[in-house]
Amino acid sequence: KREYELLFPAIDFSLMQSDEDIWWKEDLRETIEEVTARATKFMKWLWTRKEKEIAIVNHGGFLSHALSAFGDDCHQSVKNEIRTYFANCELRSMIFVDRGHICSMISSDSPRRNFPGKFLNGPDPPSDVAEEKHAEKTT
């Protein structure tokens, strides 16, 4: 932690609990259930943040696992966008929308969660389709 604080002074490392990597074990891998629990805890924490824009730097497998729990009620193309595995060093921008009961769903014991669709009606188009439709309406 201290080494990174010196290298990256603009980044807040205050939430790091230890200077050691407490998650990595040389001879042990997390089970799917443990990764799911950790990903759910992360998403719940993320939802409580007051910031409007947050950069997340993480292992793509963990992020894919965290995001796979969301979007079951979305159009298939949106599900594909959300659940596509991250390429090495990929940058991806996402907007999370509370459709009514996100906090209670995140704390649910269910391994998969849905947005109930109470905020937006109809299928959610992927971002490039939405941009094209918006451009057509304004011309």
pLDDT of amino acid 132: 67
**Distances in whole angstroms, Cα of residue 115 to Cα of each of 10, 19, 37, 118:** 35, 37, 18, 8
- What DSSP state is assigned to residue 27? T
Task: Report yes or no on 63 lying in a domain.
Answer: yes
Two tokens, residue 99: 């459709």
pLDDT of amino acid 114: 43
Task: Report yes or no on 94 lying in a domain.
Answer: yes
Contact 1, 18 (CB under 8 A): yes
Tens place of pLDDT for every residue, the chain, 139 residues? Answer: 788 889 999 888 888 888 887 777 888 888 888 888 888 888 888 888 888 888 888 888 888 888 887 777 778 888 888 888 888 888 888 877 766 544 444 444 433 344 443 334 445 555 556 566 656 766 6
Task: Report yes or no on 25 lying in a domain.
Answer: no
Task: Report yes or no on 121 lying in a domain.
Answer: yes
Two tokens, residue 82: 């959300």
pLDDT of amino acid 85: 86
Task: Report yes or no on 49 lying in a domain.
Answer: yes
Query: Which structural domain range is residue 52 located in?
Result: 31-138
Could you give the number of structural domains in the chain?
1
Task: Report yes or no on 26 lying in a domain.
Answer: no
Q: 28 — phi, psi (to 5°)?
A: -145, 135
Task: Report yes or no on 9 lying in a domain.
Answer: no
pLDDT of amino acid 7: 92
Task: Report yes or no on 51 lying in a domain.
Answer: yes
